[in-house]
């Protein structure tokens, strides 16, 4: 009913529940959550999959953009009144903001990597790390090196760490179809210091025959804020 038809004719006898069905749908989309407590329809992840198509068909939201690679939709609302209604009444009752943020951020990170937009990728990662709870034994350069390796590899990139060269070891190397990225990581220093080490050790020259453009990336992590403080990106 919610996804396949614009008009529906309920061909049922009198007192067969037609009005009750419509009243139930009305209460559901008005956000009267207390009426559905403990029922399957109360599950947030199931709710939103049915809410979004109905909002779209009824004209309360529009689709502004769609990225096929990440299956990520950008939604919009036609006017201010509808926006206020959605944000104040409907979404707080049904949307789990942290779960949605995590899923959306992963999709956006994947899209940024697909476009070789490392600046946007690091911006998303910087913001997301601020939401991660603090844990002990995390204040080391190796911890953040391992974290980046896990994130980039899970997003489908080829990554290697501690790559030996004649003059030292590159903290992390990532290869995409378009470029080869050399990462140097610092803790409580600066992205500039990381970039200086890449240049001083002449890491880029070791990969001169890779057949891809080489991009140098210096990243500094802040142990107090537990996220990226700054980064610098340069072509070799």
What integer pLDDT is reported at residue 98 of this predicted model?
46
Closest CA to 181 of 226, 149, 143: 149
Closest CA to 172 of 136, 222, 200, 207: 207
CATH number of the domain enclosing 184: 3.40.1350
Residues 79 and 150 in one domain: no
The answer to whether residue 211 sits within a structural domain is yes
Question: Which residues constitute the domain of residue 111?
Answer: 107-235
What integer pLDDT is reported at residue 66 of this predicted model?
81
Residues 30 and 134 in one domain: no
What integer pLDDT is reported at residue 191 of this predicted model?
97
What is the pTM (predicted TM-score) of this model? 0.60
List phi, psi (to 5°) of 234.
Answer: -140, 150
3-state DSSP helix/strand/coil percent for the chain, to nearest 5?
45, 20, 35
- Per-residue pLDDT for the chain (236 aa), expressed as one digit of tens each? 666 667 777 776 676 677 877 788 788 777 787 887 877 666 655 555 566 666 666 677 788 888 777 777 787 877 777 776 666 666 555 554 444 455 677 888 888 888 899 999 999 999 888 877 666 666 788 889 988 998 888 888 889 999 999 999 999 999 988 899 999 999 999 999 999 999 999 999 999 998 999 999 999 999 888 899 999 999 99
The answer to whether residue 27 sits within a structural domain is yes
Give the length of the chain.
Answer: 236
Residues in CB range of 167: below 8 A, 6 or more apart: 201, 202, 203, 206
User: What is the domain count for the chain?
Assistant: 2
Residues 154 and 195 in one domain: yes
Residues 23 and 135 in one domain: no
Residues 111 and 90 in one domain: no
- CA distance linking residue 60 with residue 81, whole number of Å: 10
What integer pLDDT is reported at residue 99 of this predicted model?
46
């Amino acid at each position: 009913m919610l996804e396949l038809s614009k008009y529906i004719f309920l061909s049922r006898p009198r007192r067969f529940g037609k009005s009750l069905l419509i009243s139930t749908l009305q209460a559901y989309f008005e956000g009267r959550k207390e009426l559905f407590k403990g029922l399957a329809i109360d599950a947030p992840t199931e709710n939103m999959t049915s809410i979004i198509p109905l909002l779209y068909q009824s004209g309360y939201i529009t689709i502004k953009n769609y990225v096929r690679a990440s299956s990520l939709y950008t939604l919009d609302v036609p006017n201010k009144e509808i926006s206020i209604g959605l944000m104040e009444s409907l979404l707080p009752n049904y949307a789990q903001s942290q779960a949605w943020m995590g899923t959306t951020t992963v999709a956006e990170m994947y899209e940024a990597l697909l476009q070789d937009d490392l600046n946007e990728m690091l911006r998303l990662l910087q913001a997301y790390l601020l939401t991660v709870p603090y844990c002990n034994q995390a204040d080391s350069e190796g911890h953040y090196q391992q974290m980046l390796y896990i994130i980039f590899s899970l997003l489908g990139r080829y990554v290697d760490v501690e790559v030996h060269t004649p003059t030292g070891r590159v903290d992390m190397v990532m290869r995409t179809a378009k470029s080869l990225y050399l990462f140097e990581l610092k803790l409580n220093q600066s992205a500039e210091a990381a970039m200086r080490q890449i240049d001083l050790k002449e890491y880029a020259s070791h990969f001169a025959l890779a057949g891809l453009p080489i991009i140098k990336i210096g990243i500094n992590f802040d142990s107090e804020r537990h996220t990226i403080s700054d980064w610098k990106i340069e072509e070799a």
